[in-house]
Structures are given as structure tokens and as C-alpha cells.
């Protein structure tokens, strides 16, 4: 990794910490003071030893004065070091909080495709693990590196005042160490990336094991799944050991090298004492300063290795923070759908595969429209394009004369209320989940939404009614109950256009018919878009039906027109009718 690349990564992280500059300046001051107070007191040890070996008369007073100064300097060092460590921890926690919130906030603003293209566990690792590693792994090593550099400078200065010849031996050592650190950096970076990927895969397997516990148990696959988790865990252990083995070997080679240097300085220093060019106190001080000089160099190598691991995590964080946000239009629409929704020659590709091709249709206010077709025909994809989860490759979607790309996302999505087939419920109570779409709703509005969606029919079975905890993602409710909760949540939002995307797939035909009829009656003058396989329920309620096949509209019309011709619609309808019979 080049020095310019390393510097740019450090500066990127620092830019996230601008609001903490005041505390950072105080940290810097304590850092300088602790560095100075780590090196300067050694001079008084030199004085005490020199006094002891001298022929001076009043040694007790000299010992007392030197000892008191030495003690005072150490007390000050302890105070400033405590302040330094506290500020370090304070900044670490505050900056960590800021990065996590910024990262989560960014995740809310990035396009939906990022979630589709990335594994959920990988995003979770970035949010929790990578943000933690970036802050704790960056701030502490960086402040300690700076402290060690200052200690080295102070120690080098005071050591050179005792004996310049011995001191200059440390210069080539520092150069060799720096070159070695730079040379081993890319290897550590690669090993750290391998470890992170293994960790992400293990998280993913854990997540699957928890979310898919019903399937695992029902197919009696507990043992096999546990073995798969074990393989991922063993693989992660191997990656951790590979990284740590490399770090341990290089660190111990450095330590052995430095021990040899210390031995040389002891022999050379002892020789200088024997010929009278260096005092015993001076040799003692040099050995202590030698530790102050060597420790920072060892630490620098260790911190440099640690920083390579940090940069792997910071790269993952910045890949999210630098992700282009959803393009929010500038037109602040007035929240109401007045006349017509137009789709003009719309084409959309997903992973270079055409998902929708040349789609054109008009939907007027108050119309009930169905998108019909087999799974994967493009129905749900078009619904996601309407609320700009995706952006089309060609064509336009226009609401009352406005291209939706120019309508702010907030206002556009307030026009629509969509019920997805895959219902997601938040951890909390039934009431909290339904009120999620409209926290200010009145009790009357809430009760009406419950009635229309059919939630009231199973409320009495729940131990605490609306205040019953639903469990993680509605674990305590059946699939049909979760879908009715989702429908109630959308109704409570009172949107101008309702999209029911396979929203009753888990309901029985009788319940489905009741819920759909109540929704149509409630929103008689509003627009409803159905995407459905259950044509027997919605076919005669719709003003127009669009039949999708391989991303194209192949048929359109009303039920009576389509059923009386040799159409794909008739094949789908008859197949369902025979199945239900």
C-alpha cells in the first residue's frame, strides 16, 4: 500500500471526526506532556547514580532533591497519562457512535439494489464489526504511534546529550524497521481481508440458521447445518491463525534483532565506562533511553501491521458511505394523485438481464388494475419501479404530468401504499407494527384498518390483544395473520394508490375474498393495483387486466374479453379454477 493511499484513508476517517477537534487538541497536549514526562525523568536517575559514585560531601541533600523532582515528574506523568487514556476512550466511543449512526443513516438512503446485491450479514458486519475495528483499531494505534514518535524524539535528544556516538546507532535501526513494516504491509492487508470475508460468511451462516430454523427442523437437517457452520468456523479460525502467525513471526524476528542491538550497546557502553569516556550513571541512563527508543520502533511495526487490518474494515465502511444515494427529485408534490399514472416504453435490466421490456400503460384515478402472470414475469419488478426502488434503463413513469424522477422520494412514496408478499414485522407489539405507517392515527382509524384487513377476527385469540408482542419478524403469528397485519398497516396510511403485491398469498380463498372486497369498497374512488395468482378473487373487480410474460405485456383487457379468447390469461385462470375446485 502506497503512503499516499494510507494517508488518504487516515484523512477520510479524520473527516468523520471534525466535531471532536476540541477534545482532540486537548488529547494532543496531554500526548506531548506524557511523552516528555516519559523521557525527562531518566536524567534524574543518571544524576542520582552519578552522585552516588562521586566524592561529593553532601550527598543526602542532593539525593533528596533529585528524588523529589523525579517523584513529582512521575506523579505529573501519571495524571496526564490518565487524562490521555480517558480522552482516548471518550473519543473512541463518541466517534464510534458517530460512524455507526452515519453508516446506518447512509444505509437508509442508498438504492434498494445495494441490499439486493449484498448479503445481509455482510452489511451487518460492516455496521457493527467494521465500524468498531475502524475506530478502536485506528484511533488508539494512531495516538500511541504519535506518542511513541514524541517519546523517541525526546529520548533521542537526551540520549545524544549523554553520548552521541551510541545514540547514532539507533538511526539505521529505525530505517531498517520502517522498510520492513512497509514491505510486510500488503501481506497483512491480504490476510486481514481473508479473515474478514471468512467472518462475514460465518455471520451469514449463523443468520441462515436462525431465520431458517423451521425448515432446518422440519427436514431434520440440524446435524448437517451444524456441520456447515462448523466448516465456516474452522475456515475462519484458519484465516485468523494465518494472520496471527505472520504477525507473531515478524514481531519476534524484530524483537530478537533489537535484543542483539541492546547487547551490543551494553558491551560498547561498558567499554566506554572502563576507559572513562562515559559515567556509570550515563550508561544506566543510556540503557533506559535505549528502551524508550526501541519500544517505539517495535510498537510502530506492530501498529503499522494493525493499521493494515483497520484499512480493510475502513474500506468496507467507505464503500457504503461513498455509495451514491437515491436520487431524490426536487419537485415537492402535493401528496395527492389527481388524474393519471402513465408508463411510457419502460425497459429495465437487472444484472444485464432484461426484466421488463417496452412496457406502456395508463392507469387513471379510481381504477382497479391487475398485473397477471407467472412468477418472474415482471409484475413485482414494475411495482418496485413505481416507488423507485429501482431506476429504469429506458422510458418514463409519469404521475399527473410529472416524471417521478423529479418528484422527491418522500412525497412520491406517500402517494403509494404497498403490501409486499414477503411481510416483514418489527420486534414489538401488534399495535406498534400497525401504527408504524401512521403513528398519529386515531383509535377510530386504527379500528377501521383492523376491520378491513380482517385483523379483528384473530385479535381475541391473542393473550394481550393489540398489545401482544409479535416476536422477531412476527414469529408468534401465522403467515396469513402477518399478511393481514401488513394490509392493515398500509390501509392506516391512507394512500392514494394501493399496490397489493401477492399480499393475500397466505390467506384461504374465503378470507382473501372478504378482505379484497372490503378494500375495494373502502377505496372505491382510489386506485388499486393488484399483482396476483388468485385470479378468481380479483378478476371481476378490475377495470383492466394486464398479462405479463417474460417481462412484456402480452395481453390486456377486462376479464370477460380475455376469458373468451385463446389467451394466456384464460390458461392461468382455468388452471387456478380447476385447482380450487
Q: What is the residue extent of each domain of the chain? A: 18-321, 340-580
Max mean pLDDT among 260-264, 286-290, 498-502 falls in 498-502
Quick: pLDDT tens for 521-544.
999 999 999 987 567 778 888 999
Q: Please state, in angstroms and rounded to a whole number, the distance separating the CA atoms of residues 321 and 103.
A: 6
pLDDT at 526: 92
pLDDT bucket at 1, cuts 50 / 70 / 90: very low
Q: For residue 181, is pLDDT > 70? A: no
Mean pLDDT of 204-214: 70
Max mean pLDDT among 292-296, 393-397, 479-483 falls in 393-397
- Outline where DSSP puts E strands in 408-560: 416-419, 497-501, 527-532, 544-549, 552-557
pLDDT at 45: 80
- The total number of residues written for the chain in this structure: 581
Q: For residue 74, is pLDDT > 50? A: yes
Q: For residue 26, is pLDDT > 60? A: yes
pLDDT bucket at 85, cuts 50 / 70 / 90: confident
pTM as predicted: 0.68
3-state secondary structure of 378: coil
Rg (CA), the chain: 35
Say which range, 52-66, 274-288, 468-482, 495-509, has the weakest mean pLDDT: 52-66
pLDDT at 376: 86
CA dihedral for 263, 266, 268, 271, sign (positive or negative): negative
Q: Is 76 exposed, middle or buried (0-12, 13-18, 19+ CB in 10 A)?
A: middle
Q: Count of H helices and E strands in the chain?
A: 22, 10
Lateral strand order in the sheet of 527-532: 416-419, 497-501, 527-532, 368-372, 544-549, 552-557
pLDDT bucket at 488, cuts 50 / 70 / 90: very high
Q: Can you give the three-state secondary structure of 189-208, one letter per residue?
A: HHHHHHHHHHHHHHHHHHHH
CB 49 within 8 A of CB 281: yes
pLDDT bucket at 445, cuts 50 / 70 / 90: very high
Mean pLDDT of 334-343: 84
Q: Is 217 exposed, middle or buried (0-12, 13-18, 19+ CB in 10 A)?
A: exposed
pLDDT at 530: 93
- % of residues, the chain, pLDDT over 70: 83
39, 82, 91 from 33: Cα distances, Å: 10, 12, 19
Q: Please state, in angstroms and rounded to a whole number, the distance separating the CA atoms of residues 564 and 570.
A: 8
Mean pLDDT of 422-444: 89
CB 399 within 8 A of CB 337: yes
Quick: pLDDT tens for 107-128.
777 777 777 776 666 666 666 6
CB 73 within 8 A of CB 40: yes
Going by C-beta distance under 8 Å and a sequence separation of 6 or more, which residues neighbour residue 358?
345, 346, 347, 395, 552
Between CA 255 and CA 263, with CA 261 as vertex, the angle to 5 degrees is 105
Q: Which residues pair with 369 in a beta bridge?
A: 529, 544
Mean pLDDT of 215-222: 68
Q: Which residues pair with 349 in a beta bridge?
A: 354
Q: For residue 226, is pLDDT > 80? A: yes
pLDDT bucket at 553, cuts 50 / 70 / 90: very high
Lateral strand order in the sheet of 394-399: 353-364, 340-350, 394-399, 402-403
pLDDT at 356: 94
C-alpha cell of residue 201: 460468511
CB 363 within 8 A of CB 398: no
Say which range, 243-247, 293-297, 509-513, has the weakest mean pLDDT: 293-297
Residue corresponding to grid cell 425497459: 347
Q: Which CATH class is domain 18-321?
A: mainly alpha
Mean pLDDT of 342-347: 95
Q: Please state, in angstroms and rounded to a whole number, the distance separating the CA atoms of residues 24 and 416.
A: 47
pLDDT at 17: 66
CB crowding 79-105: b at 16 or more within 10 Å, else e: ebbebbeebbeebbeebbebbbeebee
pLDDT at 197: 80
CATH fold of 340-580 reads: Rossmann fold (3.40.50)
pLDDT bucket at 452, cuts 50 / 70 / 90: very high
pLDDT at 121: 61
CB 465 within 8 A of CB 495: no
Q: Which residues pair with 350 in a beta bridge?
A: 353
Q: Please, what is the average pLDDT of the chain?
A: 81
Mean pLDDT of 359-388: 92
Mean pLDDT of 549-553: 93
Mean pLDDT of 266-285: 83
pLDDT bucket at 329, cuts 50 / 70 / 90: low
- Outline where DSSP puts E strands in 434-535: 497-501, 527-532
Q: Please state, in angstroms and rounded to a whole number, the distance separating the CA atoms of residues 236 and 241.
A: 9
Q: For residue 68, is pLDDT > 50? A: yes
Mean pLDDT of 490-515: 88
DSSP character at residue 128: I
Q: Please state, in angstroms and rounded to a whole number, the distance separating the CA atoms of residues 326 and 305.
A: 37
pLDDT at 88: 82
C-alpha cell of residue 194: 481473508
Can you state the angle between helices 3-15 and 280-321, rounded to 10 degrees?
70
Amino acid at each position: 500500500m502506497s503512503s499516499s493511499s494510507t494517508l488518504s484513508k487516515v484523512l477520510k476517517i479524520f473527516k468523520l471526526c471534525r466535531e471532536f477537534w476540541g477534545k482532540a487538541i486537548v488529547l494532543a497536549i496531554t500526548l506531548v506532556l506524557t511523552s516528555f514526562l516519559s523521557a525527562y525523568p531518566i536524567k534524574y536517575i543518571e544524576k542520582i547514580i552519578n552522585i552516588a559514585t562521586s566524592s561529593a560531601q553532601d550527598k543526602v541533600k542532593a539525593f533528596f532533591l533529585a528524588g523529589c523532582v523525579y517523584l513529582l515528574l512521575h506523579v505529573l506523568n501519571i495524571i496526564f497519562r490518565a487524562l490521555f487514556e480517558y480522552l482516548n476512550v471518550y473519543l473512541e466511543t463518541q466517534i464510534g457512535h458517530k460512524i455507526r449512526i452515519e453508516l446506518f443513516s447512509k444505509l437508509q438512503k442508498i438504492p434498494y439494489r445495494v441490499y439486493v446485491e449484498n448479503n445481509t450479514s455482510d452489511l451487518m458486519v460492516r455496521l457493527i464489526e467494521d465500524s468498531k475495528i475502524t475506530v478502536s483499531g485506528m484511533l488508539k494505534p494512531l495516538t500511541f504511534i504519535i506518542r511513541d514518535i514524541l517519546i523517541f524524539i525526546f529520548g533521542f535528544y537526551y540520549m545524544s546529550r549523554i553520548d552521541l556516538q551510541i545514540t547514532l546507532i539507533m538511526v539505521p535501526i529505525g530505517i531498517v524497521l520502517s522498510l520492513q513494516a512497509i514491505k510486510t504491509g500488503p501481506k497483512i492487508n491480504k490476510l486481514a481481508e481473508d479473515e474478514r470475508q471468512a467472518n462475514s460468511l460465518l455471520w451469514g451462516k449463523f443468520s441462515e440458521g436462525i431465520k431458517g430454523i423451521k425448515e432446518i427442523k422440519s427436514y431434520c437437517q440440524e446435524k448437517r447445518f451444524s456441520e456447515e457452520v462448523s466448516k465456516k468456523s474452522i475456515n475462519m479460525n484458519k484465516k485468523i491463525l494465518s494472520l496471527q502467525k505472520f504477525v507473531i513471526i515478524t514481531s519476534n524476528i524484530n524483537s530478537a534483532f533489537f535484543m542483539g542491538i541492546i547487547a551490543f550497546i551494553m558491551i560498547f557502553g561498558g567499554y566506554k565506562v572502563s576507559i572513562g569516556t562515559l559515567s556509570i550513571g550515563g550508561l544506566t541512563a543510556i540503557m533506559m533511553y535505549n528502551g524508550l527508543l526501541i519500544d517505539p520502533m517495535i510498537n510502530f511495526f506492530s501498529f503499522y501491521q494493525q493499521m493494515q487490518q483497520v484499512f480493510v474494515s475502513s474500506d468496507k465502511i467507505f464503500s457504503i458511505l461513498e455509495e451514491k444515494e437515491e436520487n431524490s427529485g426536487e419537485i415537492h408534490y402535493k401528496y395527492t394523485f389527481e388524474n393519471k399514472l402513465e408508463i411510457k416504453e419502460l425497459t429495465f435490466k437487472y444484472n444485464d438481464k432484461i426484466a421488463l421490456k417496452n412496457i406502456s400503460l395508463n392507469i387513471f384515478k379510481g381504477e382497479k388494475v391487475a398485473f397477471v402472470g407467472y412468477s418472474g414475469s415482471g409484475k413485482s419488478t414494475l411495482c418496485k419501479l413505481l416507488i423507485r426502488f429501482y431506476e429504469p434503463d429506458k422510458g418514463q413513469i409519469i404521475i399527473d404530468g410529472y416524471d417521478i424522477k423529479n418528484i422527491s422520494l418522500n412525497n412520491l412514496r406517500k402517494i403509494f401504499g404497498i403490501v409486499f408478499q414477503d411481510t416483514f414485522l418489527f420486534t414489538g407489539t401488534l399495535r406498534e407494527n400497525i401504527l408504524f405507517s401512521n403513528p398519529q392515527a386515531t383509535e377510530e382509524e386504527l379500528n377501521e384498518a383492523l376491520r378491513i384487513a380482517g385483523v379483528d377476527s384473530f385479535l381475541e385469540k391473542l393473550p394481550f390483544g393489540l398489545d401482544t408482542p409479535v416476536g422477531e419478524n412476527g414469529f408468534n403469528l401465522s403467515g396469513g395473520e402477518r399478511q393481514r397485519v401488513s394490509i392493515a398497516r398500509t390501509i392506516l396510511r391512507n394512500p392514494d394508490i394501493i399496490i397489493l403485491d401477492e399480499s393475500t398469498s397466505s390467506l384461504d380463498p374465503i378470507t382473501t375474498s372478504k378482505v379484497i372486497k372490503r378494500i375495494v369498497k373502502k377505496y372505491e374512488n382510489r386506485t388499486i393495483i393488484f399483482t396476483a395468482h388468485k385470479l378468481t378473487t380479483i378478476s371481476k373487480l378490475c377495470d383492466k387486466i394486464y398479462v405479463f410474460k417474460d417481462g412484456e405485456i402480452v395481453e390486456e383487457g377486462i376479464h370477460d374479453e380475455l376469458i373468451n379468447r385463446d389467451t394466456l390469461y384464460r390458461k392461468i385462470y382455468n388452471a387456478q379454477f380447476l385447482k380450487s375446485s
